[in-house]
Each structure stands twice: as structure tokens, then as C-alpha cells.
């Protein structure tokens, strides 16, 4: 194994805790321990902290504070958001793009409906807008789900350009996009996850616009917040991290775009390697490619031995042992897949070192297999 510290290139799975989040979390542990629903002093103190976190997140997401609730994860936020929209309308059908996060697919599977529809995407993972609108107009559709950007290949969806029929609410899964790019303006419900932008794990966000019909689909009160005891320090740390990330977003994104362009060019120059995802309408920090004649876990393991931590969505490393449904929907190569997602502090030197290691690793693995 490499004796040098690992270069973490898997921030799309989870970003390192932002220094602002760490500082806020430690301070909030001493003040936010009480039940914010109580009227005693510590309870009122915790309520103030929770309200402050809600206000900061609302401003960052382009919402009002009373439109923002907390969940235990981005996955739970998607489940409660989508199923709450369909429960309120009385129509169980969920229409979604074929490349949505598995949380959306699982929500649709959990409540069966003949009106469910998965809408095709093109080779860059961009949804067919006309087909999405047509599917949303079908009888029995209670909600449409369309992500702001894809978590596997980085493609940004044209959310604001989608023309949906009146009365059909739109849920936007913004987990991959928050903190990296401006968010769509058009949504009825929006979900996010703090550990994707440098906040603590275990803090999800569900926002529902005023006037949107939504009801809690699970046992508990009919509010946006998850039932049970709220994680006040976690919510406040998540808000502090997002505030800090947004303050530096443009500068970080410009640097990451150039770094990813470098990785894309080097990967594309390797024989029989396919770089996937939209070349320009994409997240700044993420790039995915697939290599013929090489298994994804082989590349990941070999890169880890050289000190680079990356991810793979190929069948051999997925927990379901199934190929990536995103790559399959795009018609892309699902074998030998590698996803690289830069951290906010990834340096040019680290990217150059990674590019050199990538070329060597793929060549060595193929040579070892007699190719």
C-alpha cells in the first residue's frame, strides 16, 4: 500500500466535514441538547438554534423557513416527499426519469400503481422533456420526480424547462447539486442531504412550497420535520457548512471544472475508455468513465494501492450485484466503471498525479490479463 496519505476523490458519496460544520457542531453540542418542544430555558435555547438552522437552509434553497423540514437522510426525505405528495392528491402514480436515485425508484416500488412511469434519457443522461410531460398527464399520476443533477455521471437536468400539466407536483432531488451549482427555481418539493455538502451525516432536508398539497405518509404528526427527537446540533452544523460552501462555490467550481476537464481528457485518451455524462451541462466536480476489459473493482483497488480513493458503480462493487441502472439507461458501458468526485480542496498536483496513476493502472491490469 502507498505510504502517502490517501487522496480522497469520492466526495459525491460523502464530503469531508467542513471546518465550519465541525466548529458549529462542537459549540452546539453544549447548547442544543434539550428538547426544542419544551418551554424551559434549555428547550427554548434548542428551539432557537433549530429555527436558526431552518432559516439559513431556507435562504440557501430559495424557500421560506416554514417550507423547510428535517429528515434523517436524503433518502428518507425523498420517500416522505414523494409519498406525501401522492397521498395528498390521492393518486399513487409516480413519473420519474430513468436515471433517478434509487430512493425514487424504491418509493415507486413501495406503493404500486399502473400509472408509474420511467422516462427515457439520451446518451448524456438528459431526460426526454416531451415524454416526461406526456407521462405526467396520464390518469392516476400524483407526482413527478426529476433530479437537479445525476449522482453517478454529473449530468444536470433541464428542470426549469420542463412543462408539466397543472395539478401535478414536481419533486426535485437536489442532493448531488446543492453547494455545487445554482438550483432549479421550479419545484414543489425539494430534497437534499447534508453529508453531500460537508455537513454531518444523518441530516436530510425536505422542503415543500406553500400551497402544495402534501401530507405525512407515515405514522406521526403532519409536519415536515421527521417524527421523534430532532438532531439540533446536526441541523445547525449542516446549515453552517452550506453557508460556508455557498460563499466559496463559484471559486471552487471554476477550479474543479478545469480539473475535471483534465481528467476527462486523460481518460478519453486511454484506448477503449468511454467518458460518460454531459460534457458541459454537468456538475463541476464529478466525472465518470468506463473501461473495456477491466473490472471496476480492479481499478478501484489498484488506485487505492497508489493512494487514490475513488468509487465504482459497476456490478462487481454494487451491493445489489446489478449493473448501474443509470449507465444502462444511457446505453453506456456498465462494466469497468469508475466515478471520480473532487473535494473542495483537491489540488492540481493531486489531479495530475491521479491522471498518471489512472493511465498506468488500466495498462497494467490489461497487460496482466494478456491484453
Per-residue pLDDT, 227:
85
pLDDT at 316 over 60: no
**HEC letters along 90-150:** CCCEEEEECCCCHHHHHHHHHCCCCCCEEECECCCCCECHHHHHHHHCCCCEEEEECCCEC
Mean pLDDT for 190-212 is 97
Q: Sorting pLDDT into bands at 50, 70 and 90, what band is 220?
A: confident
pLDDT at 141: 97
User: 103-158, pLDDT tens digit by residue?
Assistant: 999 999 999 999 999 999 999 999 999 999 999 999 999 999 999 999 999 999 99
Note the pLDDT of residue 5.
Answer: 65
Higher pLDDT, 30 or 220: 30
Cell of 277: 455524462
Residues, the chain, total?
A: 371
Please, what is the average pLDDT of the chain? Answer: 94
| Domains assigned to the chain | 7-16+248-368 (3.90.1150.10), 19-247 (3.40.640.10)
Phi first, then psi: give them for residue 7, nearest 5 degrees.
Answer: -90, 110
Residues with catalytic annotation? 316
| Helices 296-305 + 348-368 axis angle, to 10 | 130
Quick one: pLDDT band at residue 223, thresholds 50, 70, 90? confident
Residue 2, pLDDT above cutoff 50: no
pLDDT over threshold 70, residue 4: no
pLDDT at 228: 87
Q: What is the pTM of this model?
A: 0.94
| Predicted confidence (pLDDT) per residue in 55-76, tens digit | 999 999 999 999 999 999 999 9
- Nine cell digits for residue 8: 480522497
213 DSSP assignment: -
Amino acid at each position: 500500500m502507498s505510504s502517502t496519505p490517501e487522496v480522497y476523490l469520492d466526495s459525491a458519496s460523502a464530503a469531508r466535514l467542513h471546518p465550519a460544520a465541525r466548529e458549529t457542531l462542537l459549540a452546539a453540542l453544549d447548547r442544543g441538547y434539550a428538547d426544542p418542544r419544551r418551554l424551559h430555558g434549555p428547550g427554548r435555547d434548542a428551539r432557537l438554534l433549530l429555527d436558526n438552522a431552518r432559516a439559513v437552509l431556507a435562504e440557501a434553497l430559495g424557500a421560506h423557513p416554514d417550507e423547510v423540514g428535517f429528515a434523517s437522510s436524503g433518502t428518507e426525505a425523498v420517500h416522505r416527499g414523494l409519498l406525501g405528495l401522492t397521498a395528498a392528491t390521492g393518486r399513487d402514480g409516480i413519473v420519474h426519469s430513468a436515471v433517478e436515485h434509487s430512493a425514487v425508484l424504491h418509493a415507486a416500488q413501495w406503493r404500486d400503481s399502473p400509472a408509474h412511469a420511467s422516462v427515457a434519457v439520451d446518451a448524456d443522461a438528459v431526460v426526454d422533456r416531451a415524454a416526461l410531460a406526456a407521462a405526467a398527464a396520464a390518469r392516476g399520476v400524483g407526482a413527478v420526480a426529476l433530479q437537479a443533477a445525476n449522482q453517478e455521471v454529473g449530468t444536470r437536468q433541464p428542470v426549469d424547462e420542463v412543462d408539466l400539466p397543472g395539478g401535478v407536483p414536481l419533486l426535485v432531488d437536489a442532493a448531488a447539486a446543492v453547494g455545487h451549482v445554482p438550483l432549479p427555481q421550479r419545484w414543489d418539493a425539494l430534497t437534499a442531504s447534508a453529508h453531500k455538502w460537508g455537513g454531518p451525516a444523518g441530516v436530510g432536508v425536505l422542503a415543500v412550497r406553500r400551497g402544495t398539497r402534501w401530507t405525512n405518509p407515515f405514522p406521526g404528526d403532519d409536519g415536515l420535520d421527521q417524527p421523534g427527537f430532532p438532531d439540533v446540533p446536526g441541523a445547525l452544523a449542516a446549515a453552517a457548512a452550506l453557508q460556508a460552501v455557498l460563499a466559496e462555490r463559484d471559486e471552487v467550481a471554476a477550479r474543479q471544472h478545469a480539473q475535471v476537464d483534465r481528467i476527462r481528457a486523460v481518460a478519453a485518451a486511454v484506448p477503449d475508455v468511454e467518458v460518460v455524462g454531459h460534457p458541459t451541462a454537468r456538475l463541476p466536480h464529478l466525472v465518470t468513465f468506463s473501461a473495456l476489459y477491466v473490472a471496476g473493482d480492479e481499478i478501484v483497488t489498484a488506485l487505492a494501492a497508489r493512494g487514490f480513493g475513488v468509487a465504482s458503480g459497476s456490478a462487481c462493487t454494487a451491493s445489489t450485484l446489478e449493473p448501474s441502472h443509470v449507465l444502462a439507461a444511457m446505453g453506456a458501458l456498465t462494466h469497468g466503471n469508475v466515478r471520480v468526485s473532487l473535494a473542495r480542496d483537491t489540488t492540481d498536483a493531486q489531479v495530475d498525479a491521479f491522471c498518471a496513476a489512472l493511465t498506468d493502472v488500466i495498462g497494467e491490469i490489461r497487460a496482466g490479463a494478456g491484453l
